[in-house]
C-alpha cells in the first residue's frame, strides 16, 4: 500500500520534520508515521492501515503536499480510490403538466430569477450573481429581507434584548442594586426596533445594487414554465427566466373560530408592531414564536397567559431542557395552561372572551385585552400559480425538492420555508446557497447533518442533532453527559443557576450526535456542538479542547467530561 499525504487543509510544500518509523517496523492502523510542520501547526500523519514499513519515500527536511507518496506498507491493501465528494442524488420530486402558456422573452429576463427576497431568496440571488449569473429578484414587499428581517428574527431579537435589560435590572435588586421601575416610551422603542430593521434591509438594497441584481417589486405568479407575471405599482412586468428559485416563504396560520379582523387579535407581525402594552394578554401557542413574544410583553409589563395544546411548551425540545424555562415563566406569568385548547374567542366591548377546554373536557373562560395567535406558519406555495410552470405543490402548500433543491421541473428550484420544516432562516440561507450553486453549474447538494434550533426566550433553549426523545422513539442507543450550570462559575456570576448542557453520544464510537442546552446564551453555545457533529468529533475532542474560563462555553467541555468521567469540578457519575 502506498501511503500518501492526506488532506492537510490549505497547505502545500510542508516540510517533513520527523520520520517516526524505520524500514522493517510493524505499524498498527492510526500509528503516527511522520510529522509535518506548517507555519500554523505540527501535524502527525497516521498510518491508514496495519502493515510493515517496506520503503520510506521521503527524508526529513523534504517538502510534501497532499497526495505525495511518503511510505510504502507491506501487508496492507491499497485503499480504494476516494469517491468524488458529490452527495448521492435523491429521487426527483413529481411534476405536474404545466398549465401556463406564456412563452418567449419577458419585459425583463434573468438567467436566474428568484421569487421572494427573504433570507433564502436574497442569499440565492447574491450567490448566483457572484457566480456570474444575470439575476432578477422579485419581491412583493417594499423592503427586501422577507419575514426574518422585517417581521421575524431581527425585530423580535431587538425587542428581546430590551426585555433582557429590563428583567436583569429588575432582578439586580436581589443583589443590592435597585433601579427605578422603567419608563417605557413606546414610540422610541418602536423607532429603535425599526432602525435595526432599516439598517439591515437598507444594507440588502446596497448589496443587490453592488452585484447588479435587478430587483422587480410586485407580487409574482407563474404564467408558464419560464415566465412569471409580476403585479406591481406600475402594472404588470413579465419576467422570463432560464432557471428560477422559488423562495416565497410562509405566513402565520389563522384559526377559523377567532375574530381575526378585531384589532385586539394579533399575530407575530402585529405583536412586533408594538401598538400598546396590553394589561392582560393571551398567547395562543407555546412554541418558539409565542414564547419569545410572551417574554417581551411580560418584561414590558403585561400580565401574560400562555395556552398550549401539548403537554409541554416548545414541543420539539426534550422535557428536561424545557423545565428550567417552564419554572421561570411559571413564576412570572399569570397562567400557563398545558394540554388545553382554545375553543372560542368572542369579541366583547370589555375585552376578548376566550373559552378554553382542558384534557379532561372541562371548559372555562377568561377575558383578555389582547390575544396573540402563534399556532404556527403555513407555506406560501399555493399562492404563486406554481402549476402553470409544472411545479407540484402539496395540500399544505409545500413544494417538494431533491437534495439539490430542484423541484420536479429541473430548471426550477425551491428553498426555505416553502419547502418544509424546520422553518428557520439559517436553513433557508443554506438551501439558498445550494440552489444558486447548482443553478450555476456547481456540484453541490444539501448535505448538512444537522440544523440547530433556538428559542431566544429567557432562559434560551437550544438543541441540535438528535434529541433524547427522538433517540427513544427511534430505538437509537445514546449515552449522555449532563452538566448543571449550578456548578458553572460564569453562570453563577451572571446571577443565574438554572441552566443545563446535555450532550448525547453514540456509545459505540463516543461521537457526539446531539446536544440540548438551556440557559442564557444557549443559542450561541449550540453552534460549537453543531460543528462538532459535522466534524465527527467525539467526547475526548470536546473534553480536551481548552475552553476559556470563566465562560458559559465551558459547560460544553464539562458535559463531555461528565460523559468521560474525567470532570473535576463535580463528582463524575463514573470515573475513568
Ligand atoms: P421569507 O422570509 O418568508 O420571505 C419570503 C419573501 O417572499 C417575503 O418577503 C415575501 O414578501 C416574498 N414573496 C412571497 N411570495 C411572493 C410572490 N409571489 N411575489 C413576490 N414576493 C413574494 N428563524 C430563525 O432562524 N431564527 C429566528 O430567531 C427566527 N425568529 C422568528 C421570529 C418570528 C416572529 C417569525 C415570524 C419568524 C422567525 N423565524 C426565525 C423564521 C424565519 O423568519 C423564517 O424561517 C425565514 O424568514 C424564512 O425565509 P424564506 O427565505 O424561506 O422566506
pLDDT for 82 equals: 44
For residues 237 and 74, the model is more confident at 237
Residues with CB under 6 A from ligand 1: 115-121, 138-141, 146-148, 152-153, 156, 219-220, 247-250, 268, 289, 380, 384, 416-417, 423-426, 428, 456
Which residues belong to the active site? Answer: 549
Q: What is the mean pLDDT of residues 23-38?
A: 87
pLDDT for 9 equals: 67
3-state secondary structure of 126: helix
Name the residue among 423, 431, 440 with its Cα closest to residue 403: 431
The three cell numbers of residue 20 are 517516526
The CA-CA-CA angle for residues 332, 150, 432, to 5°, reads 110
289 in Cβ contact with 374 (< 8 Å):
yes
pLDDT for 89 equals: 66
From 425, 431, 453, 523, the mutation candidate for ligand 1 (largest count of ligand atoms within 8 A of CB) is: 425
pLDDT for 78 equals: 56
- pLDDT > 90 in the chain, percent: 87
What angle do helix axes 288-300 and 153-171 make, rounded to 10 degrees? 50
174 in Cβ contact with 468 (< 8 Å):
no
Long-range contacts from 447-450, C-beta under 8 angstroms, 24+ separation: 447/87, 447/403, 448/534, 449/533, 449/534, 450/514, 450/530, 450/533, 450/534
For residues 291 and 8, the model is more confident at 291
Least confident window among 13-27, 221-235, 376-390, 535-549: 13-27
Structure confidence at residue 88 as a pLDDT band (50, 70, 90)? low
Query: What is the position in ligand 1's atom list of the atom closest to the CA of 429?
Result: 51
The three-state (H, E, C) secondary structure of 440-454, written as one string: CCCCCCCCCCCCCEE
3-state secondary structure of 98: coil
pLDDT for 81 equals: 45
From 114, 115, 116, the mutation candidate for ligand 1 (largest count of ligand atoms within 8 A of CB) is: 116
pLDDT digits (tens, 9 = 90+) for 116-174: 999 999 999 999 999 999 999 999 999 999 999 999 999 999 999 999 999 999 999 99
Least confident window among 48-57, 249-258, 331-340, 449-458: 48-57
Name the residue among 246, 229, 225 with its Cα closest to residue 390: 225
Q: CB-based burial of residue 105 (10 Å sphere; 0-12 exposed, 13-18 middle, 19+ buried)?
A: exposed
Structure confidence at residue 107 as a pLDDT band (50, 70, 90)? very high
pTM of the full structure: 0.86
Q: Is the ipTM of this complex over 0.95?
A: yes
* pLDDT surpassing 50 at residue 83: no
From 150, 153, 158, 452, the mutation candidate for ligand 1 (largest count of ligand atoms within 8 A of CB) is: 153
* pLDDT surpassing 50 at residue 98: yes
What angle do helix axes 319-332 and 288-300 make, rounded to 10 degrees? 30
pLDDT digits (tens, 9 = 90+) for 308-359: 999 999 998 999 999 999 999 999 999 999 999 999 999 999 999 999 999 9
pLDDT for 576 equals: 65
Alpha-carbon radius of gyration of the chain: 28
Which residue's alpha carbon is nearest to atom 27 within ligand 1? 153
Q: How far is the CA of 313 from the centre of ligand 1 (A)?
A: 23
Q: CB-based burial of residue 151 (10 Å sphere; 0-12 exposed, 13-18 middle, 19+ buried)?
A: buried
pLDDT for 44 equals: 81
Rounded distance between C-alpha atoms, residue 429 and residue 249, angstroms = 12
Rounded distance between C-alpha atoms, residue 530 and residue 356, angstroms = 40
Q: How far is the CA of 148 from the centre of ligand 1 (A)?
A: 5
pLDDT digits (tens, 9 = 90+) for 528-573: 999 999 999 999 999 999 999 999 999 999 999 999 999 999 998 8
* pLDDT surpassing 80 at residue 269: yes
The residues near 70 (Cβ < 8 Å, ≥ 6 apart) are 3, 4, 5, 16, 33, 34, 45, 56, 57, 58, 64
Please state, in angstroms and as integers, the Cα–Cα distance from residue 505 to each residue in 35, 43, 259, 462, 555, following that order: 31, 27, 48, 17, 16
Q: How far is the CA of 95 from the centre of ligand 1 (A)?
A: 25
- pLDDT > 70 in the chain, percent: 97
Q: How far is the CA of 100 from the centre of ligand 1 (A)?
A: 27
Q: How far is the CA of 281 from the centre of ligand 1 (A)?
A: 25
Query: What is the position in ligand 1's atom list of the atom closest to the CA of 415?
Result: 52
pLDDT digits (tens, 9 = 90+) for 427-482: 999 999 999 999 999 999 999 999 999 999 999 999 999 999 999 999 999 999 99
pLDDT for 80 equals: 47
pLDDT digits (tens, 9 = 90+) for 417-441: 999 999 999 999 999 999 999 999 9
Amino acid at each position: 500500500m502506498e501511503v500518501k499525504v492526506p488532506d492537510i487543509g490549505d497547505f502545500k510544500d510542508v516540510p517533513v520534520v520527523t520520520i517516526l518509523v524505520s524500514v522493517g517496523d510493524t505499524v498498527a492502523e492510526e500509528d503516527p508515521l511522520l510529522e509535518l510542520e506548517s507555519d500554523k501547526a505540527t501535524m502527525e500523519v497516521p498510518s491508514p492501515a496495519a502493515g510493515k514499513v517496506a520503503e520510506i519515500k521521503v527524508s526529513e527536511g523534504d517538502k510534501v503536499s497532499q497526495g505525495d507518496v511518503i511510505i510504502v506498507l507491506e501487508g496492507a491493501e491499497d485503499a480504494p480510490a476516494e469517491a468524488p465528494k458529490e452527495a448521492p442524488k435523491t429521487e426527483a420530486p413529481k411534476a405536474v403538466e404545466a398549465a401556463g402558456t406564456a412563452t418567449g422573452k419577458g419585459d425583463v429576463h434573468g438567467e436566474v430569477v428568484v421569487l421572494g427576497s427573504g433570507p433564502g431568496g436574497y442569499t440565492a440571488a447574491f450567490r448566483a450573481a457572484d457566480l456570474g449569473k444575470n439575476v432578477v429578484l422579485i419581491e412583493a414587499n417594499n423592503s427586501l429581507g422577507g419575514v426574518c428581517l422585517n417581521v421575524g428574527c431581527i425585530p423580535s431579537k431587538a425587542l428581546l434584548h430590551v426585555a433582557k435589560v429590563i428583567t436583569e435590572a429588575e432582578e439586580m435588586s436581589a443583589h443590592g442594586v435597585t433601579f427605578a421601575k422603567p419608563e417605557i416610551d413606546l414610540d422610541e422603542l418602536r423607532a429603535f426596533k425599526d432602525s435595526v430593521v432599516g439598517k439591515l434591509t437598507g444594507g440588502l438594497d446596497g448589496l443587490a445594487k453592488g452585484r447588479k441584481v435587478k430587483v422587480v417589486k410586485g407580487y409574482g405568479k407563474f404564467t408558464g414554465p419560464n415566465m412569471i407575471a409580476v403585479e406591481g405599482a406600475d402594472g404588470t412586468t413579465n419576467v422570463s427566466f432560464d432557471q428560477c428559485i422559488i423562495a416565497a416563504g410562509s405566513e402565520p396560520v389563522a384559526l377559523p373560530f377567532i375574530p381575526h379582523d378585531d384589532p385586539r387579535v394579533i399575530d407575530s407581525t402585529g405583536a412586533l408592531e408594538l401598538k400598546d402594552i396590553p394589561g392582560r394578554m393571551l398567547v395562543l401557542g407555546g412554541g418558539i414564536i409565542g414564547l419569545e413574544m410572551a417574554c417581551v410583553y411580560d418584561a414590558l409589563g403585561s400580565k401574560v397567559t400562555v395556552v398550549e395544546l401539548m403537554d409541554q411548551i416548545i414541543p420539539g425540545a426534550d422535557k428536561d431542557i424545557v423545565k428550567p424555562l417552564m419554572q421561570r415563566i411559571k413564576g412570572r406569568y399569570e397562567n400557563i395552561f398545558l394540554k388545553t385548547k382554545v375553543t372560542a374567542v368572542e369579541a366583547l366591548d370589555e375585552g376578548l372572551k376566550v373559552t378554553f377546554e382542558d384534557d379532561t373536557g372541562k371548559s372555562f373562560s377568561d377575558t383578555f385585552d389582547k390575544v396573540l395567535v402563534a399556532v404556527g406558519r403555513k407555506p406560501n406555495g399555493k399562492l404563486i400559480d406554481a402549476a402553470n410552470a409544472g411545479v407540484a405543490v402539496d395540500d399544505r402548500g409545500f413544494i417538494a425538492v431533491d437534495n439539490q433543491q430542484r423541484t420536479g421541473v429541473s430548471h426550477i428550484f425551491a428553498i426555505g420555508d416553502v419547502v418544509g420544516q424546520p422553518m428557520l432562516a439559517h436553513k433557508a440561507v443554506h438551501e439558498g446557497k445550494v440552489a444558486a450553486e447548482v443553478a450555476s453549474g456547481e456540484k453541490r447538494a444539501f448535505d448538512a447533518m444537522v440544523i440547530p434550533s433556538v428559542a431566544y426566550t429567557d432562559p434560551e433553549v437550544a438543541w441540535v442533532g438528535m434529541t433524547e426523545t427522538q433517540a427513544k422513539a427511534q430505538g437509537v442507543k445514546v449515552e449522555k453527559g449532563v452538566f448543571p450550570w449550578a456548578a458553572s462559575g460564569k453562570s453563577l456570576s451572571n446571577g443565574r443557576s438554572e441552566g443545563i448542557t446535555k450532550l448525547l453520544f453514540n456509545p459505540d464510537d463516543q461521537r457526539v450526535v446531539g446536544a440540548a442546552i438551556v440557559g442564557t446564551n444557549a443559542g450561541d453555545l449550540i453552534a460549537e456542538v453543531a460543528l462538532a457533529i459535522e466534524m465527527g468529533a467525539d467526547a475526548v475532542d470536546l473534553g480536551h479542547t481548552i475552553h476559556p474560563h470563566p465562560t458559559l462555553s465551558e459547560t460544553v467541555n464539562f458535559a463531555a467530561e461528565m460523559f468521560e468521567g474525567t470532570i473535576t469540578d463535580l463528582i463524575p457519575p463514573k470515573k475513568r
